[in-house]
Amino acid sequence: MNPYLPYFFGPQAEYYVQASEEIETGKVQFNGAAFLAGVLWMGYRKMYGQAFITAVIIFAENLAEELIFPPKNQAGNSSAIVTILINLLVGFISNRLYVNHATRRVNRILAENSGASQERLTDLISQQGGVTWYGPFIVLGIILVTAFVFTLIAESLGVKLA
Looking at residue 155, its pLDDT comes to 87
Looking at residue 110, its pLDDT comes to 96
3-state helix, strand, coil in the chain (%, to 5): 75, 0, 25
Distance from C-alpha of 138 to C-alpha of 28, rounded to nearest angstrom: 29
Question: Is residue 52 within 8 Å of residue 146, measured between CB atoms?
Answer: yes
Looking at residue 99, its pLDDT comes to 96
Structural element, H or E, at residue 51? helix 48-68
Which of the residues in the chain have pLDDT under 50? Answer: none
Listed in order, strand segments (DSSP E) in 79-129 are: none
Looking at residue 73, its pLDDT comes to 52
- Of residues 45, 70, 39, the one with CA closest to residue 57: 39
Looking at residue 134, its pLDDT comes to 95
CB neighbourhood size of 14 (10 A): 10
Which DSSP letter does residue 113 get?
Answer: T
- pTM of this prediction? 0.86
